[in-house]
């Protein structure tokens, strides 16, 4: 599977809520750079991240555009997150079912046909302002 197909399949699985399909596209030692946060390493750490996200948020990504380097080893994606804040996440404003629309993006490293790094970005201040917290 080429990089563009891989990243497209990854986001298709995200939008379907198929976390096992997403996880199957990752290397065992995947590096996950959380937005404005720490790096987590490994598929099981990524699984725990997805479980927390599913508990606290309901999200769909729209307008996904995938860009791939000429050698196919790196990729980027831009999208718009349409979400609902369902359950309060640690250190963030209280959840009350707030809806949000937020541009975001991710960068990827590809190794042996799988995703070896995911670096996510969105504007946290914009998100906090949308859910009613102090930006």
* Of 20, 19, 18, 45, nearest in space to 31 by CA: 45
87's tokens: 């359950």
Using CB atoms within 10 A of its CB, is residue 62 exposed (0-12), middle (13-18) or buried (19+)? exposed
16's tokens: 């379907």
The pLDDT score that the predictor gives to residue 134 is 60
Query: Average pLDDT in the 11-37 region?
Result: 95
Query: Average pLDDT in the 67-81 region?
Result: 97
Taking 60 as the threshold, does the pLDDT of residue 135 lie above it?
Answer: no
Q: pLDDT digits over 93-125, tens only? A: 999 999 999 999 999 999 999 999 999 999 999
Taking 70 as the threshold, does the pLDDT of residue 59 lie above it?
Answer: yes
Topology of the domain comprising 3-130: Nuclear Transport Factor 2; Chain: A, (3.10.450)
pTM of the predicted model, to two decimals? 0.92
Taking 80 as the threshold, does the pLDDT of residue 133 lie above it?
Answer: no
Q: What phi and psi, each to the nearest 5 degrees, are found at residue 123?
A: -85, 100
């Amino acid at each position: 599977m080429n990089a563009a197909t891989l990243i497209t399949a990854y986001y298709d699985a995200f939008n379907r809520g198929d976390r096992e399909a997403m996880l199957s596209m990752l290397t065992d030692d995947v590096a996950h750079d959380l937005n404005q946060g720490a790096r987590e390493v490994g598929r099981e750490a990524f699984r725990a991240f997805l479980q927390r996200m599913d508990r606290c948020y309901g999200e769909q990504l729209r307008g996904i555009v995938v860009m791939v380097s000429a050698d196919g080893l790196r990729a980027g994606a831009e999208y718009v997150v349409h979400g609902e804040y369902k359950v309060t996440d640690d250190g963030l404003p209280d959840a009350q079912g707030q809806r949000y629309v937020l541009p975001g993006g991710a960068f990827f490293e590809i190794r042996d046909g799988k995703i070896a790094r995911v670096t996510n970005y969105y504007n946290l201040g914009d998100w906090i302002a949308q859910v009613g917290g102090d930006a």
